[in-house]
Structure 1
């Protein structure tokens, strides 16, 4: 009897661990892949897009999501600092949560105050937007990406 109880308990633990490491809800688009930043949106009223801002000439930002891990890098000709980061991610039906573990020197300074980034998520097969919001839950701006792989 103890062996059966132990086996059932082990199965429950394994099933629970599998559910916790799932990276997307069922019936949802996958964020796994490689994405390149296309533009930014500003939200003046917290709801509606008030402005679309194109990337600056030569600016490039790429994010890669795979198997619960994220890595991103950014190059801006106007900025001599290197920016990249690595960590874990998970998504729900309407949010993207990135927990960064390490990054470039400039990113590590930023990580001293904040390591978990939570965004509202709008995801299709070929595009996604990660929308930042203020303390009151109002949208402030978004980064808009296109799948490149």
Structure 2
């Protein structure tokens, strides 16, 4: 009788430990998902809404994106693609490549693009920007060789 009781207790302990293990796994996968989404808050589709011009690293002028054109950027986990609609030529401006961002810097390395962009990519493949990311907006800020801000493109999340 004691052996049966001991075996039943062991089975109960084993079953309850398995249930606790599943809870821990779901919590850790939730933590991983939260860390991933926080780390990759750039993932999604964004629309260019305006620009800032800087002087002495301060905004001196701002203006909205021209209504004659529209620019969209899309980020996956590792890739970026952007396109700009021009009423005169709907296929002229686009680029595709990979990206990383960390510590306030966004780096895009373009692989190919439209005819105009392929000429640019032959000269320069890597583009580094200062970067400010909010929940539904980001600014990519062009800097000069001395690290001073020149202008920014300001995007809002559309998906």
- Which stretches in structure 1 are left out of the alignment for 5+ residues? 1-23
Whether the 8 Å CA contact 2:40–2:77 is kept in 1: the answer is no
4+ aligned runs moved over 2 Å, structure 1: 24-29, 76-81
Correspondence for 1:37 among 41, 48, 52: 48
Partner of 2:130: 120
Correspondence for 2:144 among 89, 110, 134: 134
Greater displacement, 71-80 / 84-93:
71-80
Report 1:104-115 matches (<5 A): 104-115=114-125
> Residues of 1 paired with 2:46 and 2:147: CA distance?
26
- Which stretches in structure 2 are left out of the alignment for 5+ residues? 1-34
Report 1:35-114 matches (<5 A): 35-45=46-56, 47-77=57-87, 82-114=92-124
> Residues of 1 paired with 2:141 and 2:101: CA distance?
13
Q: Structure 1 residues 67 and 56, CA, compared in 2 at 3 Å: closer, same or farther?
A: same
Structure with higher helix content? 2
Deviation (angstroms), 1:76? 2.5
TM-score by length of 2: 0.73
| Deviation digits for residues 1-27 of structure 1 (CA, Å, limit 9, x no counterpart) | xxxxxxxxxxxxxxxxxxxxxxx9995
TM-score by length of 1: 0.77
Radius of gyration: which is bigger?
2
> Residues of 2 paired with 1:116 and 1:134: CA distance?
14
**Aligned residue-pair number:** 125
CA-atom RMSD in angstroms:
2.1
Q: Which has the higher contact order (CA 8 A, sep 6+)?
A: 1
